[in-house]
Amino acid sequence: MKTYFVLFLIAAFSSALITPLLRRLCERFGLVAGPRSERHVHRTPIPRLGGIGIFLSVLVALSSLFAVHNLLTQNLRSDVKSVGAFLLCSLLVVALGAYDDIRGANAMIKFVVLGIITMIFYALGGRIEGLSIPFFGQVTLHPVAGFLLTIAWVVGIANAFNLIDGVDGLAAGSALFSSLVLLTISLIQGRALMAVILLALTGALAGFLRYNFNPASIFLGDSGSLFVGFALAALSIMGSQKASTAVAVAIPILAFGLPVVDATVTIGRRLLSGKPIFQGDREHIHHMLLARGWSQRRVALVLYAVSAAFGLAAMMFVNGGSGMTGVMLFVLGVAVALALGNLRYHEVDELRASVKRNLSDRRARAINNLRLRRACQALESAKTMSELFDAVVEVLELGDFVYAKAQLTCDDQAQVNERAFELSDANGFSEHAKILNGRIQWNWQRSNLVNANVVGSDRFWAMRLPIAGNGCSLGYLNLYRRLDADPLLFDINYLTDVFHPAVTGAAARVFKNAEHSMPRRMAATAR
């Protein structure tokens, strides 16, 4: 236990000493990060190669074990190959990140190179060979499946930590909580190799966070965020290779809860929005909290609490059965979904609305669509204006419209218009209609409408349907609905694709019948 304690102190003090020296070197050679786009929340140039300091601190701490001779170091000598593989691949990741910090590299290049480094890690023995899946138990993976899953897991987690590195201290602090969770589990399960590497990483992150917390004087940079993400993902694989319980799946996912959730949401919303997955934006979880007016310090502290909560949840799975694991993961998933719903993501709101449309409102929409079609069928058989507008009123009430106005005319032939009006007046049509300037004017309003002054009001939206047939205009039909009304529970395209042609056909037929019913002398005069 003394060796563990000293190892942590060496890593922490090394980081606390190396980081300010590295900061001065970056300032001297101009290796700083300026606010190059609106995605960056800092406004002054800040040194950004902090990952190099963390890696060197881990290396110093692990190297100090060569000066110690006890039972722990004797047991570790048999795992020198594993430690060497981890450090070699970590060095390559740091080099990739440093190149991106200094020269710049696009997302695709980083993905490809990270994939190649992970292949090297796989070839050196770091691989996922089996999983313990809730409700299914232990599953041995085909070598190809294990290879692909190893690549996806390491590259995914490395980039997940890179994505949340947008607020001072957030990525380093989240990585610190993740490493503490894995460290605690390693100590509980007696995995000495995992414990010593995680102690070195935890100490290095703790020493670095002093300079990285808001206001940060040095950034992790890609060299740091990619390194800590790769290191934690690789260590979780090394720690789960001999695990036979659901810990092999649940604990790593929850230990990296915040970056995993952020990366999943980022990919999901970009797919829903039709945006390129690799295109940066200001809609990560920390950006959404900053948009609410929160300070960087408050965002970091709140998300630290979230990371701690995920870590505590992970600890509950150490001795949990697979059945209980599945239930708890489901509960946590629901809790995360509810929390994300309060961040005002447009994609989440649209997904929620889509689910509501397809589940709770689906039956009502189908019924209303059928009722609208039946009303249009009645229009197809309408012979008078009263029958035409009776069917129109049925659609208006179905769509919760509050007001409608129509004007119809037969090529401005006043006598034909008057005849059509006369044929309809027998059914009380004149209560809502009149002849004005030789044209038929029709108005309707819902009985509970208090203020009849709808036209021109800013509390209603309107739809205008032009009525035209045989190359000539027959008039128009305007529909009005409240802006604050409940959602329209039928397909609005039916108004233009089904209802509008039916109204047009009915109006042309009514005028034609009116013209044919006129005495020959009057019909000739009208023509």
In the chain (527 residues long), the average pLDDT of successive 10-residue segments reads 89 96 92 67 80 96 86 77 93 96 89 96 89 68 90 94 92 95 88 91 96 92 95 86 49 88 89 80 88 91 93 77 61 76 73 70 85 91 90 92 92 86 73 88 83 80 87 86 88 90 92 82 49
262, 280 Cβ separation under 8 angstroms:
no
Q: How far apart are CA 526 and CA 415, in angstroms?
A: 6
DSSP per-residue codes, 369-414:
HHHHHHHHHHHHT--SHHHHHHHHHHHHHHTT--EEEEEE-STT-H
Question: In angstroms, rounded to a whole number, what is the distance separating the alpha carbons of residues 281 and 216?
Answer: 22
Length of the chain: 527
How many CB atoms sit inside 10 A of residue 335's CB? Answer: 12
Report the pLDDT value the prediction gives residue 48, as an integer from 0 to 100: 87
Query: DSSP label at 413?
Result: -
Hey, is 294 helix, strand or coil?
coil
β-strands 130-133, 137-140 pairing: antiparallel
Helix (H, G, I), strand (E, B) or coil at 50: helix
Grouping H, G, I as helix, E, B as strand and the rest as coil, residue 488 is coil
Q: Is the pTM of this model over 0.75?
A: no
Is residue 181 classed as helix, strand or coil in its secondary structure?
helix
- SS3 label, residue 501: helix
- Name the residue type at position 217: S
| pLDDT of amino acid 448 | 73
Q: Kindly give, in sequence order, each residue whose CB lies less than 8 Å from that of residue 19, ignoring residues fewer than 6 positions away.
A: 50, 53, 207, 208, 210, 211, 218
Contact 133, 322 (CB under 8 A): yes
Q: Is the distance from CB of 347 to CB of 269 less than 8 angstroms?
A: yes
Q: What integer pLDDT is reported at residue 226 of this predicted model?
A: 96
Pairing of strands 439-445, 460-469: unpaired
Rounded Cα–Cα distance for residues 216 and 169 (Å): 7
CA angle (330 as vertex; 326, 332 as ends), nearest 5: 115
* Tokens found for residue 180: 């503490």
Residue type, 167: V
Query: How many Å apart are CA 236 and CA 253, to the nearest integer?
Result: 10
Q: Which SS3 state, helix, strand or coil, does residue 43 take?
A: coil
pLDDT of amino acid 521: 45
Question: Pick from 225, 206, 204, 212: which is nearest to 297 by CA?
Answer: 212
The continuous run of DSSP H or E covering 340 comes out as helix 322-341
Residue 244's pLDDT is what? 39
Between CA 364 and CA 283 the distance in angstroms is 35
Structure tokens at 518: 């006129």
pLDDT at 133: 63
Domains defined for the chain, CATH in brackets: 2-327 (no CATH), 367-526 (3.30.450)
Q: Are residues 32 and 26 in contact, defined by beta-carbon separation less than 8 angstroms?
A: yes
**Residue 17 confidence (pLDDT):** 96
Q: Mapped to the 3 state alphabet, what secondary structure does 347-379 carry? A: HHHHHHHHHHHHCCCHHHHHHHHHHHHHHHHHH
Peptide bond into 215 cis (omega under 30): yes
AA letter at 488 = L
292-330: burial string, b at 16+ Cβ within 10 Å, e else: eebebeebbbebbebbbbbbebbbebeebebeebbebbe
d(CA 380, CA 386): 13
Q: What's the CA gap between 121 and 117, in Å, rounded?
A: 6
Do 110 and 96 touch, CB atoms closer than 8 A?
yes
Q: What are phi and psi of 318, to 5 degrees?
A: -60, -45
Place of tokens 């694709």: 497
pLDDT at 173: 95
Q: What are phi and psi of 466, to 5 degrees?
A: -70, 135
